[in-house]
Amino acid sequence: MSAATIELLRQRLVVLQPESVSIQDDSHLHAGHAGARDGGHYQLQIVAQVFAGKSTIARHRMIYDAAGDLMRGSIHALSIRAEAPGEV
């Protein structure tokens, strides 16, 4: 399931025209956690020009909007590091 979720998230993030995307499944670190049954825990690192001049909250909203229904199902928790080129 995690490989499929990672691929779906990667496909949905294409709308942000990222220069780089790294997604890691950290679900194994949360075994036994109440939310672990309902979706995975993922770590996202993304670099995209669209983030330039945007606040952290605005960047996260853009990512959540792109992820869509994955955030209400396959993904229980998403740790985000979103940067514009030059901030890396």
pLDDT at res. 73:
86
pLDDT at res. 67:
97
Q: Long-range contacts of range 27-36, CB-CB < 8 Å, 24 or more positions apart?
A: 27/2, 30/77, 35/76, 35/77, 36/76
Q: Domains in the chain, start-ordered, CATH in brackets?
A: 2-83 (3.30.300.90)
Residues 33-69 have pLDDT tens digits of 555 456 788 999 999 999 999 999 999 999 999 999 9
The CA distance from 62 to 39, in Å, is 21
**Could you give phi then psi for residue 50, rounded to 5 degrees?**
-60, -20
- pTM greater than the 0.85 cutoff: yes
Residues 72-88: what's their mean pLDDT?
92
pLDDT at res. 33:
58
